Amino acid sequence: MAIKLICIDMDGTLLMDDHQVSEVDQAAIKAAVKQGVHVAITTGRVYNCARLYAKTIGLTTPIIASNGAFIGGTNGETIYENPLLIEDVRDFLEITTQHGLLAYLTANFGLISLQELPETNLYKQLNKMLKEDEQIQLVVLSSLDEIYGHYEGQILKGVCLAPNQDILNEVKAEIKAKCPHLEVVSSWKNNFEVMKKGSSKGEAVKQLTKYFNLTPDEVMCIGDSENDLSMIQFAGVGVAMGNATEDVKQAAQFITTSNKEGGVANAIEHFVLNQK
């Protein structure tokens, strides 16, 4: 069956290591769109950030952001959202704080934290390259009460960063055990992220599949990390990047080249452009 919806992860997949989309990937995406295929950015990043990339490429398909906790149109309209409850936020912050780990929260507009984030933070680095009116908001508050009082219903995800894999795995396991009401996945080797139960890229792709009145067989998903597993398992065609984790490669039907080698373009050419 022909592919009619392509869902593409950003970091480690669509983006090269300099956070740019290669010309070859852009060309393949535009060729697929020209054939009538819907192409959706499907990311753990905040919506406002993902929308910048969608506009740069010229995409009009709704965007899946915050690991599936939000689906929004490219003009800013909300299609689906599943924000964290205040008790979810409290549980996440209490456990990560007890372990002395850096944690922050995300909303569509940007990040919320109780301490200044390091200069190495992805969004701080990205803001240096963006125009002032495009920059991702980085809000630093002085207390948990401020978070609860001002951002209830807007917080979509919590992110925890750990200095080494052992500590990361320990705290990740603790949150999974103590907070069964949370989804817990990693998007990078030094982090884990929490969303409200039911939020995942796989569930969001399922929602988007229904939105376009398609079947899973008509969907291709491309990714590289643990948070991509659910959508790769849902799709009729699950594609792992050449730089993907081993569990993602094992779950995929096809392994393409790396994000540095036009892996997205190679997958699109193989399953879409060469199937005319």
Contact between 167 and 101 under an 8 Å Cβ cutoff? The reply is yes
Q: What is the pLDDT of residue 274?
A: 87
Q: What is the pLDDT of residue 162?
A: 87
Q: What is the pLDDT of residue 147?
A: 81
- What structural domains does the chain harbor? 5-81+199-273 (3.40.50.1000), 86-196 (3.30.1240.10)
> Which residues of the chain register pLDDT less than 70?
276
What does the alpha-carbon distance between residue 71 and residue 130 come to, in Å, rounded to a whole number?
23
Q: What is the pLDDT of residue 172?
A: 93
Secondary element (H or E) of residue 166 = helix 165-178
Q: Which residues contact 235 (CB under 8 A, 6 or more apart)?
A: 7, 205, 216, 219, 220, 221
Q: What is the pLDDT of residue 252?
A: 98
Catalytic hit among 9, 11, 88, 91? 9
25 counts as catalytic: no
Residue 224 tokens read as 């590289």
Q: What is the pLDDT of residue 276?
A: 56
